[in-house]
Structure 1
């Protein structure tokens, strides 16, 4: 949990922000613990901890970041630890700029180049880069404004082409294959290096034809989104958010609505997984509005699935079920991957099964979750990350049915799959299962699983 530093003065700024937010001390402590747990940080703060903060104590490590995130949720706007009297955290200005969706695409390119080069070459200079849920509102608003103002006839964006654009696409395909096999952590640095030192400088030079520039902007947006997913897989959640936001802006420059919807799906997934499902639903809805005009049923399917994930995390069974029905209906209208944008050809009914399994798990509908997770496990034999996630979901569904032996055995299989796959998403799914094991920790098989899982999952809360 980390200690505290005492200033000796009552923190009137924090007192004022808590009063404005209208939250109790116990509720604030609870939310700080929840946000930390979502990012692999164990803390046990309570209302007495908040009282100590008000008396002048500053919690160490990442706690000020989580306090800011929690208060920002209640206030409906971003706040920083400095806003409520905590010392400024060391952070390069680019980390703040990368949260902004800028109208000037030249500034976006500059920000992305600096963020990438600092990330790869001088990572320690970035310091802690927090995930800021309230910073997601403005990018989706700006994207929707662009969507309304766009005068082109709805169509799939052009993603084919020869020359330089074709070479960049070949690099994207190579990175994508490595990501699927080994997880995002193993390929993250290569993607970011290529994006920030090769592709971004090409776009800054303005030496290509308008058509080539559109294709290159779209490719840069795809790589930025991939950098975001890979950062997610490396537990760099704040960086994941920043790469995806910058990718969304590049996507507008390329005019690719399908890819824009998929980036919004990624941001929705990130927000819901990190304890902000209301933002997750909002982002998914913005993506649905985008996909409806993009001519991509598969892309629309994924966005409805993300909305279902958010609703399920909020405990809203009616809306979650309705979103799953819409996802299934969108899938049924697709004419197959050959008629879809390359950005969504990986999506199919197996993808929807896996996402639906997590929805039913979160709603406590164990029988449905078991059936869908089992199907996903069988369908994804060559995709270790998806295998691990689906086995973790299956383990939880079995546990929800009081089938402890099967649940622990299935979770152990998921753990074995992660030996050479760097995927925080898979780790998160296993942590979720382990948290649900807490009431049974005195069982010998549970203790054995905890010992086996500790090197990968860390110490249980």
Structure 2
């Protein structure tokens, strides 16, 4: 019997022709995208030739192919668009409340969370503009028996504050499951409940804050696709509530996520979009947004814009008074952290380290999670500069907080501590720190 002939993939060929993408170039981009998922692929130009002739990569690789094409073409491309069939991403419900509940329910279940997180962070995601989502909420089916009031909205806001406190003190691994459970069991039904238009808008706004915070936690747990899904839902909820503040804050969170993953141009684009969407902003929000713009500008090596934005950040922060919002707030510690990022990206390593030290001096003592991250970053940067003994001192302070917290961000720093110091293990300071790290590892495993 003659072998069955495959149908050439004209869709993939068309996309590659559109972007002038070579086989080897696409293979390298796919391997890089897959690495962000923790999947190791070794595709080369011959693999792409096979795809063009009609073979289809394994299902877990299709999202990586689509994302690689999206980044190369600078527009969204799905696996279906590329002629590869379905990817791994679950379907998105059209209804906001149902979508929030489905996402939270999957996030609560460790077995479903693995599937939920299988999708790849999309650097080419089209972000809904505020005008596109403002005031838009899906109609809820008739027959509702629950009616919400301002007391219910206050419950959601207080719970969000409490979860943020737990995040700061104990880490995202403890706080995020609580947030997901509260979204499913309380917030989702509230979003479907009856009430005055004022109450329903206020509930969407309160829900958007919690969804934003949950996305922030997923981002710092290195589950970037899950974080991105939460962020998009927060944008839609904020738009439906006509809540510019939370919409802009969420865009800024998305800009930070892009910067973590090394997408400088995307980070700057999102930070600029957040600033443009806030035509009337108080000084603290202005500082919050300008600081992220400064970081994005530094990532694309726009030195002039980066320092201009930093000056605007400092000026705005100097005018801020009153309460600093716990959710997405901005203070002197956050400003110095942005300064450190800008200086590091632009090559001034010594001043970047000084800014990180200042950030921790300004940080409230209760913000253990933020201090842990800053000390971990400080230790890594000192080590990169070969200031080994100073790095050990910073790692010691990191361990003070790490023993009492739980989260992927701290675990990532801890792994760097153990691996990065091995070349220097003959130094007394490194031996002493390594002994302490081994004891911490035993305590964590117990």
TM-score by length of 1: 0.77
1:211 equivalent to 2:211? Answer: no
- The alpha carbon displacement at 1:290 in A equals 2.9
From 328, 336, 349, the equivalent of 1:366 is: 349
3-state SS, counterpart of residue 331 of structure 1: helix
1:79 equivalent to 2:77? Answer: yes
Superposition CA RMSD, Å: 3.7
Partner of 1:70: 68
Could you tell me whether the CA contact under 8 Å between 2:34 and 2:41 is conserved in 1?
no
Alignment CA distance shift 1:274-1:251 (3 Å): same
Whole-Å separation in 1 of the counterparts to 2:368 and 2:58: 36
3-state SS, counterpart of residue 44 of structure 2: helix
- The alpha carbon displacement at 1:382 in A equals 3.7
From 373, 385, 388, the equivalent of 2:369 is: 385
The structure whose Rg is larger is: 2
Residue-pair matches, total: 414
Partner of 2:123: 133
From 268, 271, 277, the equivalent of 1:281 is: 268
1:42-121 correspondence to structure 2 within 5 Å: 43=40, 45=42, 49-56=44-51, 63-86=61-84, 88-94=86-92, 97=93, 107-121=95-109
Which stretch of structure 1 is more off in the superposition, 425-434 or 362-371?
Answer: 425-434
Partner of 1:375: 358
From 163, 188, 192, the equivalent of 2:180 is: 192
1:238-387 correspondence to structure 2 within 5 Å: 238-294=225-281, 296-334=282-320, 336-338=321-323, 343-344=327-328, 346-380=329-363, 381-387=365-371
Whole-Å separation in 2 of the counterparts to 1:197 and 1:110: 12
Whole-Å separation in 1 of the counterparts to 2:39 and 2:434: 16
Could you tell me whether the CA contact under 8 Å between 1:233 and 1:422 is conserved in 2?
no
1:398 equivalent to 2:377? Answer: no
- The alpha carbon displacement at 1:280 in A equals 1.5
1:226 equivalent to 2:213? Answer: yes
Partner of 1:22: 20
- The alpha carbon displacement at 1:375 in A equals 1.4
- The alpha carbon displacement at 1:377 in A equals 2.7
Which stretch of structure 1 is more off in the superposition, 8-17 or 126-135?
Answer: 8-17
Alignment CA distance shift 1:286-1:90 (3 Å): closer
Whole-Å separation in 1 of the counterparts to 2:415 and 2:115: 30
From 176, 180, 185, the equivalent of 2:164 is: 176
Could you tell me whether the CA contact under 8 Å between 1:369 and 1:394 is conserved in 2?
no
Whole-Å separation in 2 of the counterparts to 1:360 and 1:81: 39
Partner of 1:155: none
TM-score by length of 2: 0.79
Alignment CA distance shift 1:265-1:162 (3 Å): same
Whole-Å separation in 1 of the counterparts to 2:86 and 2:227: 22
- The alpha carbon displacement at 1:376 in A equals 1.9
Partner of 1:157: none
Could you tell me whether the CA contact under 8 Å between 1:22 and 1:74 is conserved in 2?
no
- The alpha carbon displacement at 1:319 in A equals 2.2
Q: Which runs of 5+ in 2 are unaligned?
A: 137-148, 442-446
- The alpha carbon displacement at 1:410 in A equals 2.9
3-state SS, counterpart of residue 133 of structure 1: coil
- The alpha carbon displacement at 1:59 in A equals 6.0
- The alpha carbon displacement at 1:190 in A equals 1.4
Whole-Å separation in 2 of the counterparts to 1:126 and 1:225: 17
- The alpha carbon displacement at 1:416 in A equals 6.2
- The alpha carbon displacement at 1:266 in A equals 0.7
Whole-Å separation in 1 of the counterparts to 2:36 and 2:88: 23
Deviations 1:35-75 (A, max 9, x none): 45555x37475xx7243243357666854433322220121
- The alpha carbon displacement at 1:130 in A equals 2.3
Alignment CA distance shift 1:342-1:162 (3 Å): farther
Which stretch of structure 1 is more off in the superposition, 383-392 or 52-61?
Answer: 52-61
- The alpha carbon displacement at 1:397 in A equals 3.9
Deviations 1:3-37 (A, max 9, x none): xxxx9969745444333323445544554455455
Partner of 1:236: 223
1:422-437 correspondence to structure 2 within 5 Å: 422-426=406-410
Whole-Å separation in 2 of the counterparts to 1:279 and 1:432: 27
Whole-Å separation in 1 of the counterparts to 2:30 and 2:397: 32
Deviations 1:117-154 (A, max 9, x none): 2332444564613211212x341xx21556799xxxxx
- The alpha carbon displacement at 1:353 in A equals 0.7
